[in-house]
Amino acid sequence: MTESITITDNRSGESLEIPIVNGGVAAADWSKLLPGVWFYDPGFMSTAACESSITYLDGEAGILRYRGYPIEQLAAESTYLEVAYLLLNGELPNASEFDEWKHEITYHTFIHENVRKRFLDGFHYDAHPMGMLVSAVAALSTFYSDAKDIFDEESRHKQVTRLIAKMPTLAAAAHRFSVGMPFVYPDNSLDFAGNFLSMMWKVAEPRFEADPVLTRALDILFILHADHEQNCSTSAMRVVGSSHSDPYSATAAAAAALYGPRHGGANEAVIRMLSEIGTLDDVAPFIAGVKSGSHQRLQGFGHRVYKSYDPRAKIIKKIADEVFEVTGKNPLLDIALKLEEIALSDDYFISRKLYPNVDFYSGLIYQAMGFPLSMFPVLFAIPRTAGWLAHWQELLDQDSRIARPRQLYIGHDVRNYVPLGSR
Ligand code: SDX
């Protein structure tokens, strides 16, 4: 037998040898020896929920690969749309495949007029754009009657293409609504990131073309945020997808999970934290507060998997310098650098293996590019849609069972109803 473990139930003395396969042991084998004894693992700290071939992480070594390709190479050589194709199809596209893919995405960027005029415009004037995006993605499920044909390859491909293509349009529409600006239609002559920036910033000029340095920087940020194996939002995608819900509803659930400040909302929380700190002199006292528990956590630090520097944060830090060349330096950068310098030399953070994660520097770039804070989780959701959909496709192809974990019941034993008059 290959590598294995043996477990013994001390109540019966029975033992069972279980093989270690792909770094895991099958819970189904445990259950043969331990029927009705569940593995208690809140937060899934030590649980593999699936087998996947999409993304590989090594938290100790700080490695991230999409379909085997190192993130550093993809960030330097590729584009978001090419990476989306890779995540979804498992291989990099050849020239004709890539041209067809780009054409499909480009010609699916429009949203139904009723999505904007009757749905998005129905929100309150100060609605948070991420709340609007989560809702609008779910609403899309009502516009495509074939969305539920999830085992029809052609329909599935159409929904996947629509979702990836329309996320920037929905995102920009939510922003324009929140600032009282008119909706900007997609410009099919621009690339993915350039079209998004046009829909975000175009005013009265006949055509908006962003600075190519900013367009490229945003496209690389989209690459870095495209997937990250079984993170909270992707797990939500897989749980909802396992019920065979349509991909729009599953993507809305994933976006809702991403909205949380512990996850995709962290980049917004980082800027609020840096602004709260305010000056370089206040960095050390703030960190003391974090350590004593009197302050919030260090936003943008720590990670369930990375116990070393998040490889994405290293790349983002380099992009920041290029962006600031164009936009001017974000004054909060010096506070961020000081925070990192102090934290990485402090045993509290070292002992807990807390390093900057993908969110620590990304917000500085978004802010310097003019995005309002409330758009930061939206900027995370746009590219992560490719990863969510790649995992959704994978779970369907694996014929995964419906996600339905067990529990350890710690509530009351049976008891009889007490009439109101006797309570
Ligand atoms: C993302 O999973 C992914 O891949 C996510 C993501 C992706 O691409 O999808 O990488 C994107 O979500 C990045 C993370 C963004 N979130 C933040 O930056 C928010 C701040 N970080 C933390 O809340 C926290 O680090 C988490 C949520 C990211 C991870 O939490 P864990 O793994 O459950 O760790 P934990 O809460 O058990 O913390 C372990 C210890 C605790 O101390 P002790 O109780 O042992 O004394 O470390 C401490 C925590 O208090 N700790 C922190 C801290 N993060 C953990 N202390 C101060 N500041 C922090 N940021």
In order of start, what are the domains of the chain with their CATH numbers? Answer: 4-58 (no CATH), 70-261+372-397 (1.10.580.10), 266-368 (1.10.230.10)
Entry pTM: 0.95
> Which protein residue's CA is at the shortest distance from atom 4 of ligand 1?
231
The response to whether residue 290 sits with its C-beta less than 6 Å from ligand 1 reads yes
Query: What pLDDT digit, counting tens, does each position of 49-95 carry?
Result: 999 999 999 999 999 999 999 999 999 999 999 999 999 999 999 99
The response to whether residue 356 sits with its C-beta less than 6 Å from ligand 1 reads no
Query: What pLDDT digit, counting tens, does each position of 260-305 carry?
Result: 999 998 999 999 999 999 999 999 999 999 999 887 899 999 999 9
CA gap 337, 361 in Å, rounded: 9
pLDDT for position 86? 98
Is residue 254 within 8 Å of residue 234, measured between CB atoms? yes
Tokens matching residue 224? 């870095």
Tell me how far the alpha carbon of residue 233 lies from the centroid of ligand 1, in angstroms.
15
Neighbours of 40 (CB within 10 A): 8
pLDDT for position 294? 83
pLDDT for position 203? 96
pLDDT over 70 at 128, yes or no: yes
Percent of the chain with pLDDT over 70: 100
Query: What pLDDT digit, counting tens, does each position of 22-50 carry?
Result: 999 999 988 888 989 999 999 999 999 99
Bridge partner list, 64: 57
Task: Based on the residue annotation, tell me whether 303 is a catalytic residue of this protein.
Answer: yes
pLDDT for position 295? 75
Catalytic: which of 225, 246, 359, 391? 359
What's the 3-state SS for the chain?
Answer: CCCEEEEEECCCCEEEEEECECCECCHHHHHHHCCCCCCCCHHHCCCCCCCCCCEEEECCCCEEEECCEEHHHHHHHCCHHHHHHHHHHCCCCCHHHHHHHHHHHHCCCCCCHHHHHHHHHHCCCCCCHHHHHHHHHHHHCCCCHHHHCCCCHHHHHHHHHHHHHHHHHHHHHHHHHHCCCCCCCCCCCCCHHHHHHHHHHCCCCCCCCCCHHHHHHHHHHHHHCCCCCCCHHHHHHHHHHCCCCCHHHHHHHHHHHHCCCCCCCHHHHHHHHHHHHCCHHHHHHHHHHHHHCCCCCCCCECCCCCCCCCHHHHHHHHHHHHHHHHHCCCCHHHHHHHHHHHHCCCHHHHHCCCCECHHHHHHHHHHHCCCCHHHHHHHHHHHHHHHHHHHHHHHHHCCCCCCCCCCCCCCCCCCCCCCHHHC
Task: Based on the residue annotation, tell me whether 310 is a catalytic residue of this protein.
Answer: no
Query: What pLDDT digit, counting tens, does each position of 336-347 carry?
Result: 999 999 999 999
The response to whether residue 359 sits with its C-beta less than 6 Å from ligand 1 reads yes
pLDDT over 90 at 117, yes or no: no
The response to whether residue 295 sits with its C-beta less than 6 Å from ligand 1 reads no
pLDDT for position 1? 59
Q: Which mutation among 303, 316, 342, 391 tests ligand 1's pocket best, with the greatest number of atoms within 8 A of CB?
A: 303
Residue 57 CA: nearest ligand 1 atom is 4
Distances (CA, A) of 372 to 175, 202, 368, 377: 9, 16, 10, 11
pLDDT over 80 at 119, yes or no: yes
The response to whether residue 298 sits with its C-beta less than 6 Å from ligand 1 reads yes
Sign of the alpha-carbon dihedral angle for 256, 257, 261, 265: negative
Query: Rounded mean pLDDT of the chain?
Result: 95
Q: What's the whole-number mean pLDDT along residues 187-201?
A: 97
Task: Based on the residue annotation, tell me whether 263 is a catalytic residue of this protein.
Answer: yes
Lowest-confidence segment of 217-231, 289-303, 405-419 by average pLDDT? 289-303
Percent of the chain with pLDDT over 90: 94
pLDDT over 70 at 204, yes or no: yes
pLDDT over 70 at 405, yes or no: yes
Query: What pLDDT digit, counting tens, does each position of 359-399 carry?
Result: 999 999 999 999 999 999 999 999 999 999 999 999 999 99
